[in-house]
Amino acid sequence: MLKRIITAVVCIAILIPVLIFSDTWVFTLVLGVLALLAVYEIAGCINVRRKYLLSFTSYLFTAVVIFLMTTFFMGFDRFIPTLFAVGYAYLFLIFVFTMLSCGNIKFSQAAELVSATCYIIIGFLCIFLLRHWPDTGKYLYLLIFIGAWMTDTGAYFAGVLLGKHKLIPKVSPKKTVEGAVGGIFGCMAGYAVYGVILDKCFSISVNYLSLIVLSVVIGVVSQLGDLVASYIKRECGIKDFGFIFPGHGGVMDRFDSIIAVAPVIYGIMLFLPEHLHMFG
């Protein structure tokens, strides 16, 4: 427990300045490093880390996407087609290398690596895109972290204090239905407090109804992201994805919910009518 607390304090101390400089290259660099570490962890999880043609192609693809993020403001119209082109090249190379291995690499392994790599990159990419959302990006992207962490906190305390009925014991034996409900309420509370702070302290127009509805969605998605990660670990027979955070595991252990939440919030913002946006 002491190790977990110390790690959490150190991570918070690092996170705060990163968030302060979220409008600079520092934020993009940190997202890139985390994405690379997450792909590295997944490669080890599915036993393809030593299949160098596959693993290094995945690392290179991740690095190229991060580089594209840093040049994002050269034009969105160029960014998206370039991203698709790079993505296709990655898929094609992975499948070609798998074929040329003549059975040394199973197609199922290649498919697992590709799907996990894309899942990770999309998650971190959406954090970046939300941070640079016009006008309100500096408030929007924090909903990702607040939602994931408050859901986790609410689920933990509700599970410890009230948990009786197992949620999905074959995937995560400790999670309970009561904890899941507590997680949703934890997200609602976190978003409500965040809205009040923006409203009263920064004079930001807050649509509380949209914010609360979003909190219910994110409370569910965050827990599903965590369960997906737990399922992968159980399938691979491992306890943690990595060890970069002593007592907490690896990047995927700490960012599993965040990776799931970020694309959902970004997708909602893309299709939500402007008058229903959380912040005006």
pLDDT digits (tens, 9 = 90+) for 55-114: 999 999 999 988 887 776 556 667 778 888 999 999 999 999 999 988 888 899 999 999
The residue among 247, 267, 255 whose CA lies nearest residue 33 is 255
pLDDT at 4 (0 to 100): 52
Virtual CA dihedral for 231, 251, 123, 192, nearest 10 degrees? 90
Tens-place pLDDT, residues 151-160: 999 999 999 8
Average pLDDT over residues 239-250: 74
pLDDT band at 250 (very low <50, low <70, confident <90, very high): confident
DSSP-derived 3-state class of residue 36? helix
Residue 147 has what pLDDT? 95
Number of domains in the chain: 2
pLDDT band at residue 5 using 50, 70 and 90 as cut-offs: low
Q: What is the mean pLDDT of residues 232-252?
A: 80
Domain range for 67 is 1-132
Considering the domain architecture, whether residues 145 and 274 belong to the same structural domain is answered as yes
* pLDDT of 6: 55
Together in a domain, 44 and 149: no
Statement to judge: residues 11 and 125 lie in one domain: yes
Question: Distance between CA 125 and CA 262 in Å, rounded?
Answer: 8
pLDDT of residue 212: 95
The last residue of a domain, from among 97, 132, 167: 132
pLDDT above 80 (res 20): no
Tell me, letter by letter, the H, E, C secondary structure of 99-137: HHCCCCCCHHHHHHHHHHHHHHHHHHHHHHHHHCCCCCH
Among 90, 110, 132, residue at a domain's last position: 132
Q: What is the per-residue pLDDT for 105?
A: 87
Asked if 50 and 105 sit in the same domain, the reply is: yes
Same domain, residue pair 207 and 81: no
Do 127 and 140 fall into the same domain? Answer: no
| pLDDT band for position 13 (cuts 50, 70, 90) | low
- Which among 100, 115, 132 is the end of a domain? 132
Same domain, 78 and 43: yes
The answer to whether residues 126 and 153 belong to one domain is no
261 or 237: which carries more pLDDT confidence?
A: 261
Percent of the chain past pLDDT 90, that is, above it, reads: 58
Rounded (10°) angle between helices 208-236 and 177-202:
140
Whether residue 174 is found in the same domain as residue 98: no
Q: Which residue has the tokens 């949703």?
A: 184
Same domain, 141 and 115: no
**pLDDT for residue 144 is more than 70:** yes
Q: Is 176 helix (H, G, I), strand (E, B) or coil?
A: strand
User: Looking at the structure, do residues 72 and 140 belong to the same domain, yes or no?
Assistant: no
Task: Give CA–CA dist 169/176, Å, rounded.
Answer: 8
- What pLDDT score does 66 carry? 84
Asked whether residue 21 carries a pLDDT value surpassing 80, the answer given is no
Q: Kindly report the pTM of this predicted structure.
A: 0.91
Query: In this structure, are 69 and 207 located in the same domain?
Result: no
Interior/surface letters 190-226, b for 16+ CB within 10 angstroms, e for the rest:
bbeebbeebeeeeeeebbeebbebbbebbbbbbbbbb
pLDDT for 180: 95
Per-residue model confidence (pLDDT) at position 96: 95
